[in-house]
Each structure stands twice: as structure tokens, then as C-alpha cells.
């Protein structure tokens, strides 16, 4: 159980990083 929760947190961190990078790229292009 805890390991799955840890993996979920890692996936959330990666997703937020990707979203922020995408937003930064969009702001640069726009």
C-alpha cells in the first residue's frame, strides 16, 4: 500500500513538472 502511494506521489510530481513546462513553453510561444 505505502509503496503504491509513493509511486502515485512520484507520478503527480512528474505530471506537475510536465504541466509547468508546457505552460512555460506556451507563454514563450504566445
Percentage of residues in the chain having pLDDT higher than 70: 97
* pTM to 2 decimal places: 0.64
State how far the Cα of 27 lies from the Cα of 17, in Å rounded to an integer: 15
Distances (CA, A) of 21 to 7, 12, 15, 18: 21, 14, 10, 5
What are residue 23's phi and psi, to 5 degrees? -65, -40
Res 1: pLDDT: 64
Strand intervals (E) in 1-30: none
Split at pLDDT 50, 70, 90, the class of 30 is: confident
Is residue 26 pLDDT above 70, yes or no?
A: yes
Helix (H, G, I), strand (E, B) or coil at 30: coil
Split at pLDDT 50, 70, 90, the class of 12 is: very high
Res 8: pLDDT: 96
Amino acid at each position: 500500500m505505502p509503496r503504491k502511494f509513493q509511486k502515485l506521489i512520484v507520478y503527480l510530481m512528474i505530471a506537475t513538472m510536465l504541466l509547468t513546462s508546457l505552460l512555460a513553453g506556451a507563454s514563450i510561444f504566445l
